[in-house]
Every structure is written in structure tokens, then in C-alpha cells.
């Protein structure tokens, strides 16, 4: 679908308010039957929820669960994690990828201890002031730990709302995001933010999925604006879906390989020249220098190690 044929988003109407109530009731009813039992949903500890939110960024739930449980068994509080070295933290993070998330969490833990008395905040503004914590993560922690009535959306939630209320995708812009925020705010059940956002995320991963939503068995079938288009084989989002960058052979894969090798090597580290076979087509010196600049690797001459 070209930008010139994007679905028009009208101002909120009485009909839309009625749709929001039905949307809310239906999703929560579905969640009561099909909601997932995940370890971070069994706690209201803001630190544990912050750890889960950082780990879940761009990483599948199945990969996160064992890492999350092992991480918290070792570092159950910000104080415990802040006392660890970054090298220890990166070793424990090994396998999750996007290792800068680990460094940001480590720095945030130190600030929580030094500036906030070791208590992870649940206030959105205070959370967002911590290193590496953006608007979404701050709102997620506030919602899932304190049940705060805040609106948050990830890719799944955005997709569901755009299909149900507007009939498909539209170009990201401040006015369009404001209208999306409006319908999500209208749908939010006050006092049930935690359940509501868990329900939306589960629904988006199980029913209203990206390329081939299960419209025929969806409980929102009769009232979703986009459903008829999908049932006729006309995806309103297909042309806007950007394929994920290839991981195999990528620089990101190479960076992860370096960190895994260093975790296995322990304190003795490795020579940069020893990485050339591991990295094959990639420039070992360039990758090592980038990791050093980011503080993820320490270097002394030709020997590198985890910090």
C-alpha cells in the first residue's frame, strides 16, 4: 500500500468510544483464558520487572526466560548487580545479544544505588532519567509494578490498535501517534493497567500476528475494521513491513562471537590476532575497537578481555 493510499484516521467519535469498550472487554475475556504464565508476571518488584523489560527488547520470550531466572538468582537487587563487574554482567548476559543493554542496566543499577537508596523507582519521569531507559520501558515498569494508569505500546499493541480502530497501518508521525494514543487511552481499564497491557501483548503474539493474523478465529472479527481485508487476502500492512536485517554473517553476530569467546576465556583474555579465524570476513581490529569504545571490552596492547 503506497503512502498516498494510507487509511484516513478521523477524529475520535462516539462510535469509537463504544468500540473501545467492546475492544477492552473482548481482549480481557480472551486473556482470562489464554494469557501466558511468565516469570516476570509473578512479581511486582520494580527491579525484577526492569530486568525483564531490558532483556525482552528485540529478544524472544523463550530465550529470555532462562537468562532472566539465572540473572535474578545471582543479582536479585540493584545493589547486588551494581557490585558486580561489567565483565561478570556481560558473561551472564551471553546469548541474549544487544550487549549494550546489559551495560546500560549495569550503569542504571549503580545510579539506583547511589542516587535512589537502592530502590528501583516506579515513577515514569524518574525511571526515564536513568541511563538507557526510554519512554516505553519507563511506562512498562510503572504499569507492571505499580499498576499505573499509563498507556504504552510495543509493536504488537500498535499493530492491534491500528487494525482494529483504523483498518491498517499508517505512516509514523506525531499527529498519527497522538490519535493512536487517544484510542489506547480510551481503551485503558483504570486500575487494571498491568492485566490490560499483558493481555494486549499476548493477543498480538498469538492472534493478531504480523503477516498472517488469525482473523477467522479472532474474537474481534465482527468489529475489527481490518479483518475483512485480511479475509479477502488484502493485507493492509504487507507493503509496510520491513524485513529484519539478516543476522547470519552480520557484524552484530561477529560482535556477539567476540564477547562469547571472551566470556569463555575468562580473566586471561585473548589476543586480537586469535580472533581473525573466528571473525573470518570481518575486520577483527575494527570490531574490537568499536567494543572498546562502547566500554564492552577492555584492551591492553594486543590482549583483550571483558571489563
Active site residues: 53
Dmax over Cα atoms in the chain, in whole Å? 68
Give the burial string for 247-284 (b: 16+ CB within 10 Å, else e). eeeeeeebbbbbbebbbeeeeebbebeebeeebeebeb
Strand, coil or helix: 255: helix
Q: Does residue 149 contact residue 190 with C-beta atoms inside 8 Å?
A: yes
Q: Which residue has the cell 472487554?
A: 25
Q: Does residue 131 contact residue 120 with C-beta atoms inside 8 Å?
A: no
Grid cell, residue 183, equals 484510542
Cα–Cα–Cα angle for 17, 234, 59, rounded to 5 degrees:
75
Question: What H or E segment, with its residue span, contains residue 187?
Answer: helix 174-187
Grid cell, residue 130, equals 536513568
Residues in the chain, overall count:
307
Residue 182, CB-side half-sphere exposure with 13 Å CA sphere: 17
DSSP 247: -
Please state, in angstroms and rounded to a whole number, the distance separating the CA atoms of residues 84 and 277: 31
Q: In Å, how far from its chain's centre is CA 67?
A: 15
**Distances from the Cα of 293 to the Cαs of 88, 96, 192, in angstroms?**
19, 21, 43
Helices then strands, counting H and E runs in the chain, come out as 15, 3
Amino acid at each position: 500500500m503506497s503512502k498516498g493510499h494510507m487509511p484516513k484516521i478521523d477524529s475520535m467519535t462516539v462510535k469509537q468510544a463504544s468500540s473501545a469498550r467492546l475492544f477492552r472487554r473482548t481482549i480481557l475475556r480472551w486473556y482470562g483464558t489464554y494469557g501466558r504464565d511468565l516469570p516476570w508476571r509473578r512479581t511486582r518488584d520494580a527491579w525484577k520487572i526492569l530486568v525483564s523489560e531490558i532483556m525482552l527488547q528485540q529478544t524472544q520470550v523463550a530465550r529470555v526466560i532462562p537468562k532472566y531466572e539465572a540473572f535474578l538468582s545471582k543479582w536479585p537487587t540493584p545493589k547486588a548487580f551494581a557490585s558486580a563487574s561489567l565483565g561478570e554482567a556481560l558473561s551472564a548476559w551471553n546469548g541474549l545479544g544487544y550487549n549494550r543493554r546489559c551495560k546500560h542496566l549495569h550503569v542504571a543499577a549503580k545510579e539506583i544505588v547511589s542516587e535512589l537508596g537502592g530502590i528501583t523507582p516506579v515513577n515514569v519521569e524518574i525511571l526515564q532519567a536513568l541511563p538507557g531507559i526510554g519512554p516505553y520501558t519507563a511506562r512498562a515498569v510503572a504499569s507492571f509494578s505499580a499498576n499505573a494508569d499509563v498507556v504504552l505500546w510495543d509493536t504488537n499493541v500498535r499493530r492491534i490498535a491500528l487494525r482494529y480502530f483504523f483498518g491498517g497501518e499508517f505512516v509514523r508521525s506525531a499527529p498519527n501517534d497522538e490519535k493512536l494514543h487517544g484510542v489506547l487511552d480510551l481503551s485503558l481499564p483504570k486500575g487494571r493497567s498491568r492485566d490490560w497491557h499483558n493481555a494486549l501483548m499476548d493477543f498480538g503474539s498469538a492472534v493478531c500476528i504480523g503477516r498472517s493474523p488469525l482473523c477467522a478465529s479472532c474474537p474481534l472479527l465482527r468489529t475489527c475494521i481490518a479483518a475483512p481485508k485480511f479475509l479477502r487476502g488484502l493485507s493492509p500492512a504487507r507493503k509496510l513491513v520491513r524485513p529484519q536485517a539478516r543476522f547470519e554473517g552480520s557484524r552484530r553476530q561477529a560482535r556477539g562471537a567476540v564477547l562469547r569467546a571472551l566470556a569463555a576465556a575468562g580473566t586471561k583474555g585473548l589476543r586480537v590476532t586469535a580472533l581473525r579465524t573466528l571473525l573470518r570476513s570481518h575486520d577483527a581490529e575494527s570490531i574490537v575497537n568499536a567494543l572498546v569504545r562502547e566500554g564492552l571490552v577492555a584492551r591492553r596492547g594486543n590482549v583483550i578481555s571483558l571489563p
